[in-house]
């Protein structure tokens, strides 16, 4: 009898060890939406796409390699314009308090999800504002000419022309698959629930959200993929990086995203913690809205480019865990043009250019400072103060402004800013993901082109680069485009930073993502 009791106790202990109850993730801000079709910021993507939804193809965790997702395989026609996806069988959608699915994932869900972004007549197209920055900015609407169901587990997508970036784009967050059945059951006055109360096929199902406080998820017990041992996933929204560090040290959270660079050295010495780092695929920049005076004047933009002391920012803001940026893409991405000569820090030259532009005494303007800590800009307020001091040296008086993160995103997409701090983490490892999304003409309308700059020569180069799969030819186009972007100076490229993730020592299974997302399905709490 004693032996049976001991066996039972041991079984219970093993079961408890194998399945942790809670995993608390200290995040840097509130998401702007729980529908990844509607967002481009990493904060929102991690809160939705990375852990709630799946895509037909996905990036292998920790790399940019494309692997099967909700499509188990696919075929590409000889002319590279027709993609046929064979769908994974027996994939269940989430069951929550607000929705119980009656069927598994099928081809209708794929058509529903893509057509929501593509077709203005789709019943959900205009829901939640109807802005699809990625889809529109990457011109997916004109690229995809047809999408149809071949059978319940097979879908075919036809393109207007070959596109070297198509599969990588399909693996991005905005191509996440929603539930058509869920959409069909929502009444007209509750269609926004699809974006606020998500239903996906991913490893975690949504429970609740308290703005600026927390997000709660639970494991999706019928998840089709590999999964760790977390029952409840809790996002503790903590905008201050130093506070995230203190919470991690105190055991109030087990993972802290984007710790302050000043805290990293001390965290590395802490025996209860571990810190991962990598050269990020990112860029931090200051954008100048060329649709507003005087930033429509090239000489003004070049003057500002010479007035900002990047070396000081990298030491003070990034603690030297970054390199000065002269191009929009980091040097680790193919097609980087190293022959571009950066604007040097030169106050006298900046003053001369400003005088030539007709502003010998400078002018007054506003600068929006980033309200959340991101790898590409760990401290927007402090960087704003340093930029403010630098621009004062050439007579430009800057008023610093900021908003909460969702408001910052909304207003900047509408072009309400003059000078604005922003940045980007690459989403697929392709140069087009930087050039097209951040500086493409189509992205002005979609909202992700923050300088609202549209140069036809630049745009033709990056468009031509997508029409061929020849990497040498694409490289030539992108290298020419970088020269134009440098000379026209719609943004001041500040830095490419290292990325850091800190966690408790007993957390395993996490892989540092070169694309800047935190994929938490594989987390194991030892």
How far apart are the C-alpha atoms of 303 and 433, rounded to whole Å? 28
The tokens describing 160, both together, are: 């207007």
Q: Is residue 257 part of a domain?
A: no
| Number of structural domains in the chain | 2
Mean pLDDT of 29-38: 93
Are residue 400 and residue 511 in the same domain, yes or no?
A: no
Are residue 479 and residue 515 in the same domain, yes or no?
A: no
Are residue 360 and residue 494 in the same domain, yes or no?
A: yes
Asked whether the beta carbons of 115 and 122 are under 8 A apart, the reply is yes
Mean pLDDT of 38-42: 86
137 φψ region: left (φ > 0), alpha (ψ -120 to 50), beta (else): alpha
295-332 burial code (b ≥16 CB/10 A, e <16) = bebebbbbbbbbbbbbeebbebbbbebbbebbbbbbee
Are residue 36 and residue 164 in the same domain, yes or no?
A: yes
Are residue 162 and residue 310 in the same domain, yes or no?
A: no
How far apart are the C-alpha atoms of 62 and 516, rounded to whole Å? 10
In this structure, what CATH number is given to the domain that contains residue 78? 3.90.76.10
Are residue 513 and residue 420 in the same domain, yes or no?
A: no
The tokens describing 385, both together, are: 């103060």
- What residues make up the domain containing 125? 20-237+505-525
Judged against a pLDDT cut of 70, whether residue 386 lies above it is answered with yes
Nearest to 215, CA basis, from 233, 227, 199? 233
In this structure, what CATH number is given to the domain that contains residue 390? 3.10.105.10
Mean pLDDT of 45-74: 92
How far apart are the C-alpha atoms of 200 and 365, rounded to whole Å? 44
How far apart are the C-alpha atoms of 282 and 74, rounded to whole Å? 30
Least confidently predicted of 92-106, 124-138, 187-201: 124-138
How far apart are the C-alpha atoms of 52 and 207, rounded to whole Å? 11
Per-residue confidence (pLDDT) for residue 469, from 0 to 100 = 85
Are residue 464 and residue 516 in the same domain, yes or no?
A: no
Q: Is residue 255 part of a domain?
A: no
Q: Is residue 14 part of a domain?
A: no
Are residue 232 and residue 352 in the same domain, yes or no?
A: no
Are residue 55 and residue 151 in the same domain, yes or no?
A: yes
Judged against a pLDDT cut of 60, whether residue 155 lies above it is answered with yes
Pick 384 or 10 by higher pLDDT: 384
Q: Is residue 272 part of a domain?
A: no
Q: Is residue 303 part of a domain?
A: yes
Are residue 312 and residue 365 in the same domain, yes or no?
A: yes
Q: Is residue 244 part of a domain?
A: no
The tokens describing 23, both together, are: 């995993």
Mean pLDDT of 421-435: 90
Judged against a pLDDT cut of 50, whether residue 154 lies above it is answered with yes
Are residue 484 and residue 516 in the same domain, yes or no?
A: no
Are residue 472 and residue 521 in the same domain, yes or no?
A: no
Per-residue confidence (pLDDT) for residue 20, from 0 to 100 = 61
DSSP E strands in 330-485: the ranges are 363-368, 396-401, 419-425
Q: Is residue 194 part of a domain?
A: yes
Does the model's pTM come out above 0.85? no
């Amino acid at each position: 009898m004693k032996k049976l009791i001991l066996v039972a106790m041991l079984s219970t202990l093993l079961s408890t060890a194998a399945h942790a109850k809670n995993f608390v993730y200290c995040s840097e801000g509130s998401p702007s939406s729980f529908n990844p079709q509607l967002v481009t910021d990493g904060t929102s993507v991690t809160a939705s796409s990375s852990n709630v939804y799946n895509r037909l193809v996905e990036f292998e965790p920790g790399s940019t390699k494309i692997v099967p997702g909700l499509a188990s395989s696919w075929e590409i026609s000889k002319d590279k314009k027709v993609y046929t996806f064979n769908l994974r069988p027996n994939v269940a959608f989430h069951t929550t308090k607000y929705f119980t699915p009656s069927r598994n994932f099928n081809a209708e869900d794929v058509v529903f999800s893509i057509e929501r972004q593509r077709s203005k007549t789709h019943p959900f197209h205009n829901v939640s504002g109807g802005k699809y920055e990625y889809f529109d900015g990457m011109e997916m609407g004109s690229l995809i000419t047809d999408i149809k169901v071949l059978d319940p587990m097979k879908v075919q997508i036809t393109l207007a022309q070959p596109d070297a970036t198509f599969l990588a784009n399909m693996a991005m967050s905005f191509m996440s698959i929603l539930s058509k059945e869920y959409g069909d059951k929502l009444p007209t006055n509750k269609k926004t629930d699809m974006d606020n109360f998500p239903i996906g096929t991913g490893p975690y199902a949504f429970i609740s959200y308290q703005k600026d406080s927390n997000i709660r998820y639970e494991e999706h017990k019928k998840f089709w993929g590999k999964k760790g041992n977390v029952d409840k996933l809790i996002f503790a929204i903590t905008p201050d990086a130093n506070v995230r560090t203190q919470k991690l040290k105190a055991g109030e959270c087990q993972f802290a995203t984007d710790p302050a660079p000043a805290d990293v050295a001390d965290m590395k010495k802490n025996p209860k913690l571990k810190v991962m780092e990598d050269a990020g695929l990112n860029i931090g920049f200051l954008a100048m809205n060329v649709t507003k005076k005087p930033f429509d004047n090239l000489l003004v933009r070049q003057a500002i480019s010479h007035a900002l002391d990047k070396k000081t920012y990298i030491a003070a803001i990034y603690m030297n865990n970054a390199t000065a940026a002269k191009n929009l893409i980091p040097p680790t991405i193919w097609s980087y043009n190293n022959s571009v000569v950066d604007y040097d820090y030169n106050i006298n030259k900046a003053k001369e250019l400003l005088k030539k532009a007709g502003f010998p005494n400078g002018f007054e303007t506003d600068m929006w400072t980033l309200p959340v800590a991101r790898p590409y800009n760990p401290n927007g307020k402090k960087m704003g103060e340093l930029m403010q001091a630098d621009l004062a040296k050439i007579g430009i008086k800057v008023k610093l402004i900021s908003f909460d993160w969702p408001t910052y995103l909304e207003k900047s997409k509408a072009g309400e800013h003059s000078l604005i701090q922003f940045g980007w983490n690459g989403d697929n490892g392709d140069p087009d993901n930087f050039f097209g999304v951040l500086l493409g003409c189509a992205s002005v309308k979609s909202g992700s082109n923050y300088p609202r700059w549209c140069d036809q020569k630049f745009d033709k180069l990056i468009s031509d680069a997508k029409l061929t799969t020849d990497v040498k030819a694409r490289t030539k186009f992108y290298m020419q485009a970088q020269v134009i972007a440098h000379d026209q100076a719609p943004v001041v490229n500040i830095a490419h930073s290292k990325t850091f993730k800190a966690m408790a020592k007993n957390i395993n299974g996490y892989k540092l993502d070169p694309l800047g997302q935190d994929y938490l399905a594989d987390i194991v709490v030892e």
